[in-house]
Structure 1
Amino acid sequence: MKSTGNAEPEGTSKPSGNARTLALTVCSAAIGGTFQYGYNISIINAPTLFIQRFLNDTHMERWGTALDTHQVTLLWTIIVSAFSLGGLLGALLAGPMAVHVGRKNSLLLNNSFLFVSALLVLTSRLAKSFEMIMLARLLVGINSGVSMNIQPMYFGESAPKHLRGAVAFSSAVFTAFGIFMGQVVGLTELLGTEPLWPYLLASNALPGLIQLLTLPWFPESPRYLLIDRGDREACVRALGRLRGGEAPALEMEEMLQEQQQQQTAAMNSGSTSSAKTPWALFKDPAVRSQLRTVMFASSAMMLCGNDSIYFYASYIFHEAGIPPGKIQYASIGTGASELTASILSNLLIERVGRRSLLVGGYSLMSCWSVVFTLALIFQSRGVAGLSYLSMACVFAYILSFGLGPAGVTGILPAEIFDQAARPAAYMVAGSLMWINLFLVGMLFPFIVKGLGNFCFLPFLAVCVVSAVFLGLTLPETKGKTMAEITAEFDRKNGKDRMNKQVGEPIRDQYQLGTASLPTQDTRSQP
């Protein structure tokens, strides 16, 4: 593979370049994308006590009085919550960025938030300002909110249909990899010590730098180039590089048909752009079923309690009799569990399908919630050995989450919405994810305190309802075109009007052979 597309005409690379270019594009985008989300979730845990001590020392030096425990906890909560608030802002920012800047350029521009946050963290101790840490976590959250929305969009639009799920699901694999690496880097043997905690929090700049140096060499999303920018030649060149040869005729034809449909829709609405806003998405009855499903799935992903169980894991391991100095190593097992499950799910998604993994994951989580609750109840009554069952439930719950909900949820908007609606759909889904993550993070300590051994019953209810709802409303999208998915979605939700009024026009619009392809000379231009 050449480092730049200008060295030779596009579409002339060997077929082996297909998997190589696509795989390298995925790695380059993800290392500075969803990897950062997982990494920044986990690296904040190791320096908790050190940062809290810094809060107290700074307050003492400024005003001559020490903070009480409640005040330290409040400031620490603000630092942790700033990440979720930034994520919400990033999710709202992702849609306009994806439309106006492009998928690839948005990911590159997104690194500016990381570099500023790293600078703030590294200088916070010298400036004796804990407010700089709060601002840094807010900026890191914005980075994660943007990448969590744009990266799956970029992958879903760049991958061939038969690999679309596996490529898009790699976002979840890199998220789990980020969690695992954050836990490893946070070990006391590495950066998890009091003198080094600013470097631990600033270490997220390194993956961002790797992306900044590598991603410019890879192509932009072909669908974005054609449908949003109207640049057919650039689309053909990008598609040729990603497929390892000439742009596939059928795939190009399908995109041309979608471009024509979006242009017609924009002309009918009197708009200068085919891209929809979230408000337009809510008002469009044609995508109401899809929007309802995505909103439910995105909310359930955070309300199911998987992120909360990471925080509860230390208590479980302590109850299991693991020495305090070894708990950090046992906690790495939680990240390793999700990483293992994500890799396994990535291998299975094109065989088993999205719907089966999503419904199956929530069903397994429901079962483990029941076992976990029973183990806690009998453990509190003095039954020996059940603490180890509780610990096993932690790993099993996370494995089940990584097997389906962790990755499938993120690729749904890319698969069930067309090019015009996709950025707005990701804005809605991303906003709900971050809002619910913030709510669960704030409420979980009170749930544990109020419900005690029954603290996972609310999560059990979420998992059961999610499995039933998604099983009834979500059709399988594996290997299907947008027209087929739309028709299947409407049939799944009992819309007979699809076959009578909407179905035939959509099939006509996607009838291959009705749109003109670029000539061979056009495809050969650099």
Structure 2
Amino acid sequence: MAGGSLAPTGGGVGVAKERAQQYQGKVTSYVIISCLFAAVGGSLFGYDIGISGGVTSMDGFLRKFFPTVYRNKQHAHENNYCKYNNQGLALFTSSLYLAGLVSSLVASPVTRKYGRRGSILCGGISFIIGATLDASAVNLAMLILGRIMLGVGIGFGNQAVPLYLSEMAPTHLRGGINMLFQLATTLGIFTANMVNYGTDKLRPWGWRLSLGLAGVPAVLMTIGGLILPETPNSLIERGSVEKGRSVLEKIRGTKNVEAELQDIVDASELANSIKYPFRNILSKQNRPQLVMAIFMPTFQILTGINSILFYAPVLFQSMGFKGNASLYSSALTGAVLASSTLVSIATVDKWGRRPLLIAGGIQMVICQVIVTIILGLKFGSDEELSKSFSILVVVVICLFVAAFGWSWGPLGWTVPSEIFPLETRSAGQSITVAVNLFFTFVIGQSFLSLLCAFKFGIFLFFAGWITVMTIFVYLFLPETKGVPIEEMIFLWRKHWFWKKLVADQNQDQIDTNNDHQSNRHHA
């Protein structure tokens, strides 16, 4: 194989030579524009996260689809924590993520066979259909069907966009460019919160406008799928080496791309020798990447961030905030999330992934514990928080959201998207998205019941998980800053825990190759 690659085997090892020092190129306007356009896919994910919580607190929406919850909201209830505990209402929020989970697995072979653009296009079209159905819904079945189509769009978009960004970005800026996806997500959440704040005044039909406006970024994403260039990695993997070289020269702004091109060619030759990437990803050689693809998105959701973003208006209303005040508070958290992501973009390729993840985890634990103490001491089942303590809760929740915004929010997507060799990259991203959406579904469906059962202890529950995941990163995640995406395999070979697992597999492969050579010699 060209460039001294290891021979392809069932385990898959990526490239065999470290050529990072030979990479040439600069940041071109072409790559920045392409990545900005692709990142719009993240705004769809964010818009829906933000829009759900606001719509589910609007009287017109509740009166039409969930009259029981509407009555509980209007009248005194025996328990503030249980006002919104309704599985149908939870299903409205969570059904999208269950559909996204299934479609993300379908998206993997589409992304591999037809390219990253193909999946981005599928995602945009599905989202347009879903937004149209929801905005015009006349019954609950139509509403849920629209949510399912939105979920299909999210499954395809979340599968393809982070891969697209990782493969287009130059190595030294990959972290920051990849985080454009999370930045778009957070801007989508903030936009949704502001839309909810405005449409809440347009009673009783404002919720239709909130849901329908999801079609705007969906149209942009669809246009992007039609006009964006395909990534060099995808083109070369599908046999278009010269076209891949041409795109690589254009996005790097130089003709001298031989080293990076050779890494991609080596990886694509190996990738094409793997017929079953999902089976291959289970091999011992790929165990470290598989563990990260499962645990990073799991921990990202178990921070409790989605419970705050989904149900911020519901949560604040449960604490005694009035309608507009609760929407305003949730809009504030959306603004904090978007702005804090900029901190991560500015620092991730300078400070690295691990320091941000660990520091963010510590800040989030402290904030969750403070909220638990305030609610435990000052907020009862049938009484409201005083104004001063309400403000304090909002401030601490904003600090929690800020910590998530510059750590686990973007990095929960960035790290898994950059660690897989090409032969398992689309399968690995599918697993990351599927796990993320599975736990998003679980938390979305169960949070209102958990809030009713645990009361203020729900924040302590999430604090426990944040502690576990911070320790996990400290022990098991190597630093990926500045490592070319096709050379990540060398990180695992040097890591204190993973090196024996990976080294053993490499040795097995070398022994097998030597045996084959010996047999041919004797023959």
Instruction: Report the TM-score when normalising by structure 2.
Output: 0.82
* 2:104 aligned with 1:101: no
TM alignment of 1:188-199, pairs within 5 A: 188=198, 193-199=203-209
Structure 2 CA distance, aligned partners of 1:251 and 1:505? 25
Cα distance in 2, alignment partners of residues 166 and 471 from structure 1:
22
Q: Distance in 1 between matches of 2:83 and 2:376?
A: 30
**Residue deviations 1:244-267 (CA, integer Å, cap 9, x gap):** 34362322122123234435xx2x
1:337-356 equivalence runs, <5 A: 337-356=336-355
Shift of 1:484: 4.7
Measure the CA separation in 2 of the matches of 1:240 and 1:253: 13
1:444 aligned partner: 447
Match of 1:424 in 2: 427
- Where does 1:301-380 land on structure 2 (aligned, <5 Å)? 301-311=300-310, 313-314=312-313, 317=316, 323-380=322-379
Separation in structure 1 between the aligned mates of residue 132 and residue 388 of structure 2, nearest angstrom = 48
Determine the structure 1 residue equivalent to 2:51.
43
Two-structure CA RMSD over aligned residues (Å): 3.0
What is the correspondence of 1:63-462 to structure 2 with a 5 Å cutoff? 73-125=86-138, 129-188=139-198, 193-226=203-236, 228-246=237-255, 248-263=257-272, 266=273, 274=274, 276-282=276-282, 284-311=283-310, 313-314=312-313, 317=316, 323-380=322-379, 385-462=388-465
Deviations 1:143-172 (A, max 9, x none): 112211210011111111111111111111
Deviates more, 1:494-503 or 1:412-421: 494-503
CA distance in structure 1 between the aligned counterparts of 2:224 and 2:428, rounded to whole angstroms: 28
Report the number of matched residues.
466
Give 1:26's match in structure 2, choosing from 10, 30, 35: 35
Q: Give me the whole-angstrom Cα distance separating, in 1, the residues matched to 2:322 and 2:207.
A: 23
Instruction: For 2:243 and 2:184, locate their aligned partners in 1 and report how far apart those are by CA, in whole Å.
Output: 29
For structure 1, which segment, 40-49 or 173-182, has the greater mean C-alpha deviation from structure 2 after superposition?
Answer: 40-49
**Distance in 2 of aligned mates of 1:101 and 1:133:** 31
Matched residue SS, 1:44: helix
Task: Tell me, in whole angstroms, the C-alpha distance in 1 between the residues paired with 2:136 and 2:508.
Answer: 62
Alignment partners' CA distance in 1, 2:501 and 2:229:
40
Amino acid at match of 1:436: F
Q: Which moved more, 1:91-100 or 1:317-326?
A: 317-326
Q: Secondary structure at the match of 1:407?
A: helix
Unaligned stretches of 5+ residues in structure 2: 1-23, 68-81, 511-523
What is the DSSP-based 3-state SS (H/G/I as helix, E as strand, rest coil) of the residue aligned with 1:186?
A: helix
CA distance in 2, matches of 1:315, 1:215: 36
Secondary structure of the 2:121 match is helix
Counterpart code for 2:341: S
Letter in 1 for 2:444: G
Deviations 1:286-329 (A, max 9, x none): 01122112211111111221111235644665588765433322
Structure 1: 5+ residue stretches without partners: 1-14, 58-68, 267-273, 507-526
The alpha-carbon deviation at position 179 of structure 1 amounts to: 0.3
1:502 is matched with which residue: 493, 506, 521? 506
Could you say what secondary structure the match of 1:45 adopts? Answer: helix
Query: Which residue does 1:475 correspond to in 2?
Result: 478
CA contact (8 A) 1:361 1:400 kept: yes
* Amino acid corresponding to residue 261 of structure 2 in structure 1: M
| Cα shift at 1:498 | 5.2
Distance 1:484 1:233 in 2: 22
Amino acid at match of 2:227: W
Pairwise CA distance, 1:505: 9.0
Identical columns (%) = 24
Instruction: Indicate how the Cα distance of structure 1 residues 104 and 192 shifts in structure 2: closer, same or farther if over 3 A, else same.
Output: farther
Which deviates more, 45-54 or 286-295?
45-54
Q: Which amino acid aligns with 1:243?
A: R
Distance in 1 between the 2:227 and 2:334 partners?
31
With over 3 angstroms needed to count, the CA separation of the structure-2 counterparts of 1:110 and 1:448, relative to structure 1, is closer
Give distance in 2, aligned partners of 1:56 and 1:99: 42
Distance 1:465 1:498 in 2: 25
DSSP 3-state at the match of 1:468 = helix
* Separation in 2, partners of 1:219, 1:459: 41
Give 1:53's aligned residue.
63
What is the CA-CA distance between 1:234 and the residue it aligns to? Answer: 0.9
**C-alpha distance in 1, partners of 2:412/2:230?**
23
Provide, for residues 323-362 of structure 1, a one-character-per-residue CA deviation record: whole Å limited to 9, x for no partner. 5433322221111111011111011110011122122222
- Quick check: 77-86 or 394-403, which moved more? 77-86
Deviation, 1:475, is 0.2
How far off is 1:202 after superposition? 1.7
1:332 to 1:222, Cα distance in 2 relative to 1, 3 A? same
Amino acid at match of 2:431: V
**Kept after mapping to 1: 8 A contact 2:91/2:445:** no
Give CA deviations for 1:476-524 in whole Å, capped at 9, x if unaligned: 0111135653222233225347568738999xxxxxxxxxxxxxxxxxx
